[in-house]
Amino acid sequence: MLEKFLQEVISLVAGVNAEPVVEVLFKKKNVNEFLIAKKLNVTINQARNILYKLADVGLVYFMRKKDTKSGGWYIYFWTLDDKKCLSYYVDRLNKEVDQLEDSLNNKKTKQFYFCKTCGMEVTEEQALLYEFTCSECGEVFALKDSTDSIRQVEKEISKLKIKSAEVKKVFEEFEASAAVKIKKAAMVSKKKTSAKNKSKKKSTAKKKSGAKKNKSLPKKRKR
Ligand SMILES: [Zn+2]
> For residue 189, with 0-12 CB atoms within 10 Å meaning exposed, 13-18 middle and 19 or more buried, which class applies?
exposed
> For residue 130, with 0-12 CB atoms within 10 Å meaning exposed, 13-18 middle and 19 or more buried, which class applies?
middle
Under 8 Å CB-to-CB from 168, ≥6 apart: which residues?
90
Ligand 1 mean position, distance from CA 133 (Å): 8
Sketch the domain layout of the chain as residue ranges: 2-80, 86-178
Ligand 1 mean position, distance from CA 67 (Å): 64
2-80 topology per CATH = Arc Repressor Mutant, subunit A (1.10.10)
Ligand 1 mean position, distance from CA 136 (Å): 5
Ligand 1 mean position, distance from CA 113 (Å): 11
Ligand 1 mean position, distance from CA 139 (Å): 5
> For residue 18, with 0-12 CB atoms within 10 Å meaning exposed, 13-18 middle and 19 or more buried, which class applies?
buried
The pLDDT of residue 216: 47
The pLDDT of residue 193: 76
List Cα–Cα distances, 173 to 165, 166, 180, 203, in angstroms: 12, 11, 11, 45
Q: What is the mean pLDDT of each run of 10 residues along the chain (223 residues)?
A: 96 95 96 95 96 98 89 92 97 98 95 94 94 93 94 98 98 92 88 69 50 45 43
The CA distance from 184 to 110, in Å, is 57
| CA 143 centroid distance within chain | 43
Ligand 1 mean position, distance from CA 118 (Å): 4
Ligand 1 mean position, distance from CA 209 (Å): 104
Ligand 1 mean position, distance from CA 112 (Å): 14
Ligand 1 mean position, distance from CA 80 (Å): 51
Ligand 1 mean position, distance from CA 152 (Å): 25
Contact in structure between 200 and 108 (CB atoms under 8 Å): no
The pLDDT of residue 197: 67
Ligand 1 mean position, distance from CA 114 (Å): 8
Under 8 Å CB-to-CB from 57, ≥6 apart: which residues?
13, 88
31: how many CB neighbours lie within 10 A of its CB?
20
The CA distance from 93 to 163, in Å, is 8
The pLDDT of residue 125: 93
